């Protein structure tokens, strides 16, 4: 697991090398201390930290944000996981460091032959990193499929709105940034039907009280949790397709 904020996920009272080594020795009780230290130094070098032997004995508060995130990544990969879960791994970093960390995760994915589950709200990061996308709303997957299919042909009104309202460099600088109206539902008392009903641009009566099933929408395992893809939603779907971003 790579956590969102490396400063709060690292123990400020422990040397970074010892923190990485702790998990390694718990998972491999037979590993000797010297062997574990060598493995940690190797991991620090793999994640791009210069002079890893010297950095081993430093504390988190002595490192920059980018270096702290690299330490967290080293901690996550030191036991050779098959799945790396990255929760907003670039949120607390500047743009240049963000790009470096994403390049590092992509490189480690190929080198270590591991899968990466990336949790993010940044559509640019998704476009740059993902092979497959699952779009969540109110705790549910509302659309999933190959990245090219989801970006090229969003099939759920929530996904479509996310795409339409993201900032763009080719827009008029005086144009207001649009937003999805309304508020997410109360998950302690969820609506009986579609969770996006109150904020949807093209709601239908069936959506109010009947939770939709998944409908296949073409592409590689591309599917959407939306009644628009049922045969009786065809006319409403055509109306949705003709809407501009302002109407969404």
Domains of the chain, CATH where assigned: 6-129 (3.40.50.300), 140-242 (no CATH)
pLDDT value at 37 more than 80 = yes
- Core vs surface per residue 127-165: b (16+ CB within 10 A) or e: eebbeebebebbeeebbbbbbebbbeebbbbbbbbbebe
pLDDT value at 47 more than 90 = yes
CA-derived radius of gyration, the chain: 22
Percent of the chain with pLDDT over 90: 63
Average pLDDT, the chain: 89
> How far apart are the two ends of the chain, measured CA to CA in Å?
36
pLDDT-derived band at 248, boundaries 50, 70, 90: low
pLDDT of residue 173: 77
Query: Which segment, 17-31, 135-149, 232-246, is predicted with the most confidence on average?
Result: 135-149
pLDDT of residue 247: 58
pLDDT-derived band at 246, boundaries 50, 70, 90: low
pLDDT value at 3 more than 90 = no
Distance, in Å, from the CA atom of 154 to the CA atom of 9, rounded to the nearest integer, reads 35
Tokens of 198: 């109150």
For the stretch 166-224, pLDDT in tens is 777 777 778 777 788 899 999 999 999 999 999 999 999 999 999 999 999 987 789 99
Tokens of 91: 């949120």
pLDDT of residue 245: 56
The pTM for the full model equals 0.84
pLDDT value at 90 more than 90 = no
């Amino acid at each position: 697991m790579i956590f969102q904020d490396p400063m709060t996920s690292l123990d400020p009272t422990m040397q970074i090398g010892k923190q990485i080594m702790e998990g390694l020795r718990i998972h491999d009780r037979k590993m000797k201390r010297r062997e574990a230290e060598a493995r940690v130094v190797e991991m620090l070098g793999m994640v791009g930290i210069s002079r890893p032997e010297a950095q081993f004995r430093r504390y988190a508060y002595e490192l920059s944000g980018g270096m702290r995130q690299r330490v967290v990544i080293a901690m996550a990969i030191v036991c050779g996981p098959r799945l790396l879960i990255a929760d907003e791994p670039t949120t607390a970093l500047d743009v240049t460091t963000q790009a470096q960390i994403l390049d590092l995760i992509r490189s480690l994915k190929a080198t270590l032959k591991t899968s990466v589950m990336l949790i993010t709200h940044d559509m640019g990061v998704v476009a740059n990193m993902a092979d497959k996308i699952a779009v969540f709303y109110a705790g549910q997957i509302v659309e999933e499929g190959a990245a090219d299919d989801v970006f090229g042909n969003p099939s759920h009104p929530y996904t479509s709105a996310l795409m339409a309202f993201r900032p763009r460099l080719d827009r008029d600088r005086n144009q207001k940034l649009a937003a999805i109206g309304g508020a997410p539902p109360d998950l302690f008392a969820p609506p009986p039907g579609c969770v996006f009903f109150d904020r949807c641009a093209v709601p239908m009566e069936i959506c109010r009280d009947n939770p939709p099933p998944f409908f296949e929408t073409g592409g590689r395992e591309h599917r959407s949790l939306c009644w628009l893809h049922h045969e009786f939603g065809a006319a409403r779907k055509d109306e949705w397709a003709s809407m501009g971003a302002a109407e969404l």
